[in-house]
Amino acid sequence: MSQSVSSQRNSLRYRSRLLQPEAERRPDTHPLTWRLRDDGEVVWLEEYLRKDGYQSVRKALDEGDPQAIIATMKEANVRGRGGAGFSAGLKWSLTLQGGEMPRGYMICNADEMEPGTFKDRLLMEQQPHLLIEGMILGALANNSFYGYVFLRGEYVESARVLNRALEEARKAGWLGADINGSGFDFDIAVHTGAGRYICGEETALINSLEGRRANPRAKPPFPGQSGAWGKPSVVNNVETLCNVPAVILNGADWYQALSGDRTDDGGSKLYGISGPVEKPGLWELPMGTTGGEILDRAGGMRGNRQLKAWLPGGASTGFLLPEHLDLPLDFDTVGKEGSRLGTGLLAMAPQEQSMVALMRNLEEFFARESCGWCTPCRDGLPWTVKLLRALELGQGETGDIELLDKLAADCGPGLTFCAHAPGAAMPLQTALKHFRHEFEQGVSKPRGKAHQDPIPVGEV
Amino acid sequence: MMATTPQTTRIIGSDGFELHPADETAMRKEMAHYEQPQAACIEALKIVQRRYGWVPDGAIGAIARVLGIGPAAVEGVATFYSLIFRQPVGRHVVLVCDSSSCFLTGFDELKQALVSQLGIDYGQTTEDARFTLLPVCCLGACDGAPALMIDDDTYGPVSPDDLPGLLEGYP
């Protein structure tokens, strides 16, 4: 290969990066990222230990009280960073253990595929030991004997870094039998996937881990009762687990105080932004930072574009408007606006962007990634795409928009096994609410004969 | 965890497909990570795919024998996951991210440029068997959008002008 070809390959290669210099990141305010290096190189075990690595595991093992870990996590109210926002401590308190119950599994959901989300990759590629440390604490609290990092297949670099870090941790006695002389056994394997967004749904993830098609399972039983191979299993997102070590070391009050008086949700958050902005990127900021502050950090919209609408945390969250830029981005506040915080990585749509086209793109994604288990999702999403494609071309029929309303309602919460269909419905419903006129402009034809009547529109 | 059992016989699937001994060893090593061997199914498919570029029909039965499960279960998994290829692909697979952040930053132009430069659309392979083009879920490279992946390498942001030089790196 010629030198110029190889140098072009290198210059175009994607590298995960945090847009905050080391000087700005401190242990007491940036628990997720203060150890990261400005040069973007991996923080391996030696450096990690120098930077107080594995101290929380040492502390927890010394104290020997798994229930205290759960109590601290509940009190800190660390909410699930994969997007659902469920309290990790509460989840852990529901894991069956004790008595005749066999020890179960600690599973890290590293299947990061939510469109617009690029945060877990950074943590795994540059600071693998923080995740391992968090998983050990999770295993202690939930009495897990083995852990898996369920990693999406495309994250080749994450797999390489994690496997080397796991080997380092094993050699140093942080994983394996009798961790640090405590009598506690726990080890971790990296399980890589082979595509499909649905693998990020926790019960579909367990099916996939077991070597099956990634269809979701009915809940209950919840994974904490009966998960992988029928054993109590805990599934937590990468960023969630990376919060645990500092919470255990510094306590719930410290964690709560990280967000100041911005919001009731505590801690810091990896916030990011993408789309046509000047400097798309990723930062660790206090929970409750506003969309406006994040957009400012990104230098505003690219080339004087005007912001039209934005998704606060992935494709499965609802559209917000420029007027929502002042809201603190926490789980409850965003929820009240008819959206969800999701993963907290913003995607910005400029004024000239057709919302019909953007919705068509989003629903094509959801339709393609539906696992096909439930009818509203399997059949409703391709139908939605078909209607949106017609509207985009200005060939919609009278009644199409009402039909979209109905299809979205049919995908609502509780009507399907998992949150995939509700996730597809939320951006559509908010787009129809805020930008209905754009959809109406795509209607040019009377209702076709084939469509007259057979579908009762308006009621679920 | 499962104990690894030593390899005793040659594993032959349908169509005279014979599993490479090194691949069987790799599969058995994966099986040791799980309570039940079926969990190594996706990895087993990927092991075969790394050798042949795709998963030939005969490999399904061979993998089923190694894992001790039915071929239908293996085929069900093989056809579910988008990165397992059940038909031949080119020497290099180009995965274009078509998710929202890339869509907002020039995916359409990038995809059009790929289609015109390669002369193929999604699911097709160039006549010289060099490239196969496929769409992919958000690559998690949204601060480098629009992004694409060629084999194991992720690139972004990629403009249509970058493509000729970039593709040249994959003979």
Return the top range by mean pLDDT from A363-367, A441-445, A449-453. Answer: A363-367
Identity of the residue in A157, A194, A315 whose CB atom sits nearest the CB atom of B100: A315
> Shortest Cα distance from B150 to chain A (angstroms)?
10
At A187, is the secondary structure helix, strand, or coil?
strand
Q: Is the pLDDT of residue B3 over 90?
A: no
Give the residue from A120, A144, A154, A271 with the most B CB atoms within 10 Å of its CB, the best one to mutate.
Answer: A154
φ, ψ for residue A337, nearest 5 deg:
-90, 15
A317 and A394 share one domain = no
**Cα dihedral sign for A318, A324, A325, A327?**
negative
A238 and A263 share one domain = no
Q: Is the pLDDT of residue A416 over 80?
A: yes
In chain B, the percentage of residues whose pLDDT exceeds 70 is 94
Residue A153 placed within a domain:
yes
φ, ψ for residue A242, nearest 5 deg:
-70, -15
Domain boundary among A256, A289, A305: A256
Which value does ipTM take for this structure?
A: 0.94
Query: Does the beta-carbon distance from B98 to A9 stay under 8 Å?
Result: no
A163 and A279 share one domain = no
Identity of the residue in B153, B168, B171 whose CB atom sits nearest the CB atom of A13: B153
Query: Does the beta-carbon distance from A12 to B152 stay under 8 Å?
Result: no
Query: Does the beta-carbon distance from A116 to B43 stay under 8 Å?
Result: no
Query: Does the beta-carbon distance from B33 to A154 stay under 8 Å?
Result: no
A9 close to A25: Cβ distance less than 8 angstroms: no
Identity of the residue in A194, A273, A368 whose CB atom sits nearest the CB atom of B84: A194
Query: Does the beta-carbon distance from A195 to B168 stay under 8 Å?
Result: no
Q: pLDDT category, A446, cuts 50, 70, 90?
A: confident
Residue A361: per-residue pLDDT: 98
Residue A3 placed within a domain:
no
Residue B10: per-residue pLDDT: 75
In chain A, the percentage of residues whose pLDDT exceeds 90 is 93
Determine the residue of chain B that is closest to A371 in CA distance.
B80
A296 and A370 share one domain = no
Determine the residue of chain A that is closest to B165 in CA distance.
A5
Q: What is the pLDDT of residues B81-112, one digit of tens each?
A: 999 999 999 999 999 999 999 999 999 999 99
Q: pLDDT category, A448, cuts 50, 70, 90?
A: confident
Q: What does the block give as tokens for A198?
A: 């649905």
Residue A456: per-residue pLDDT: 53
Query: Does the beta-carbon distance from B40 to A228 stay under 8 Å?
Result: no
Determine the residue of chain A that is closest to B42 in CA distance.
A211
Q: Which helix (H) or strand (E) holds B44?
A: helix B41-52
Number of domains making up chain A: 3
Q: Which amino acid is at B171?
A: P
- Whole domain around residue A375: which residue ranges? 355-451
The CATH number of whichever domain residue A63 belongs to comes to 3.40.50.11540
Stretch B33-41: mean pLDDT, rounded? 97
In the block, which residue shows the tokens 């390959």? A9
> Shortest Cα distance from A424 to chain B (angstroms)?
13
Q: Is the pLDDT of residue A459 over 50?
A: no
> Shortest Cα distance from A126 to chain B (angstroms)?
15
Beta bridge pairs of residue A274: A347
d(CA B144, CA B105): 10
Identity of the residue in A280, A350, A369 whose CB atom sits nearest the CB atom of B142: A280
d(CA B133, CA B75): 23
Residue A460: per-residue pLDDT: 42
Q: pLDDT category, B1, cuts 50, 70, 90?
A: low
Beta strands A268-274 and A281-286 are antiparallel
A344 and A369 share one domain = no
Residue A2: per-residue pLDDT: 65
Identity of the residue in B1, B101, B153 whose CB atom sits nearest the CB atom of A347: B101
A38 and A100 share one domain = yes
> Shortest Cα distance from B151 to chain A (angstroms)?
9
Q: Is the pLDDT of residue A435 over 80?
A: yes
A227 and A281 share one domain = no
Identity of the residue in B39, B135, B137 whose CB atom sits nearest the CB atom of A113: B137
Residue A6 placed within a domain:
no
Query: Does the beta-carbon distance from B104 to A272 stay under 8 Å?
Result: no
Query: Does the beta-carbon distance from B46 to A349 stay under 8 Å?
Result: no
d(CA B34, CA A406): 44
Determine the residue of chain B that is closest to A372 in CA distance.
B80
Phi-psi map region of A304: left, alpha, beta (phi>0 left; psi -120 to 50 alpha):
left
Give the burial string for A304-338 (b: 16+ CB within 10 Å, else e): ebebbbbbbbbbbbbbbebebbebbbbbebbeebe
Q: What is the pLDDT of residues A124-153, one digit of tens each?
A: 999 999 999 999 999 999 999 999 999 999
Query: Does the beta-carbon distance from B142 to A347 stay under 8 Å?
Result: yes
Residue B8: per-residue pLDDT: 52
CB-CB neighbors (< 8 A) of B41 in chain A? 211-212
Q: pLDDT category, B16, cuts 50, 70, 90?
A: confident
A254 close to A409: Cβ distance less than 8 angstroms: no
CB-CB neighbors (< 8 A) of A208 in chain B? 42
Residue A456 placed within a domain:
no
Nearest CA to A428 out of A378, A380, A362, A332 is that of A362
A369 and A224 share one domain = no
Q: pLDDT category, A453, cuts 50, 70, 90?
A: low
d(CA A117, CA A114): 6
Query: Does the beta-carbon distance from B81 to A193 stay under 8 Å?
Result: yes
Residue A117 placed within a domain:
yes
Query: Does the beta-carbon distance from A358 to B142 stay under 8 Å?
Result: no
Size of interface A-B (CB pairs under 8 A): 180
Q: What is the pLDDT of residues A349-393, one digit of tens each?
A: 999 999 999 999 999 999 999 999 999 999 999 999 999 999 999
- Mean pLDDT score of chain A, rounded to an integer? 95
Residue A457 placed within a domain:
no
- Mean pLDDT score of chain B, rounded to an integer? 94
Determine the residue of chain B that is closest to A370 in CA distance.
B80
Q: What does the block give as tokens for A201?
A: 């749904």
Nearest CA to A143 out of A65, A62, A203, A239 is that of A65
Give the burial string for A231-247 (b: 16+ CB within 10 Å, else e): bbbbbbbbbbbbbbbbb
Determine the residue of chain B that is closest to A189 in CA distance.
B33
Q: Which domains does chain B have, with CATH numbers?
A: 14-80 (1.10.10), 92-168 (3.40.30.10)
CB-CB neighbors (< 8 A) of A280 in chain B? 142-145
The CATH number of whichever domain residue A318 belongs to comes to 3.10.20.600
Residues in CB range of A427: below 8 A, 6 or more apart: A311, A315, A316, A317, A318, A319, A359, A362
Rounded to 5°, the CA angle A53-A59-A62 comes to 135
Identity of the residue in B39, B81, B162 whose CB atom sits nearest the CB atom of A210: B39
A71 and A118 share one domain = yes
Q: What is the pLDDT of residues A248-298, one digit of tens each?
A: 999 999 999 999 999 999 999 999 999 999 999 999 999 999 999 999 999
Domain boundary among A256, A291, A319: A256
Q: Which amino acid is at B127?
A: E
Identity of the residue in B83, B137, B158 whose CB atom sits nearest the CB atom of A12: B158
Check whether the bond before B164 is cis (ω within 30° of 0).
Answer: no
Q: Which helix (H) or strand (E) holds B108?
A: helix B107-118
Query: Does the beta-carbon distance from A211 to B42 stay under 8 Å?
Result: yes
φ, ψ for residue A399, nearest 5 deg:
95, -10
A212 and A321 share one domain = no
Q: What is the pLDDT of residues B104-145, one digit of tens each?
A: 999 999 999 999 999 999 999 999 999 999 999 999 999 999
A243 and A298 share one domain = no
Q: Is the pLDDT of residue B5 over 70?
A: no
Q: pLDDT category, B15, cuts 50, 70, 90?
A: confident
Domain boundary among A302, A329, A350: A350
Determine the residue of chain A that is closest to B45 in CA distance.
A194
Measured CA distances, A32 to A94, A128, B123 (Å): 26, 11, 40
CB-CB neighbors (< 8 A) of A275 in chain B? 101, 104-105, 145
Q: What is the pLDDT of residues A321-336, one digit of tens each?
A: 999 999 999 999 999 9
d(CA A313, CA B41): 33
d(CA B59, CA B71): 10
The CATH number of whichever domain residue A426 belongs to comes to 1.20.1440.230
Strand stretches in A202-296, DSSP E: 233-237, 268-274, 281-286
Determine the residue of chain B that is closest to A271 in CA distance.
B143
A277 and A310 share one domain = yes
CB-CB neighbors (< 8 A) of B139 in chain A? 14, 154
Determine the residue of chain B that is closest to A315 in CA distance.
B100
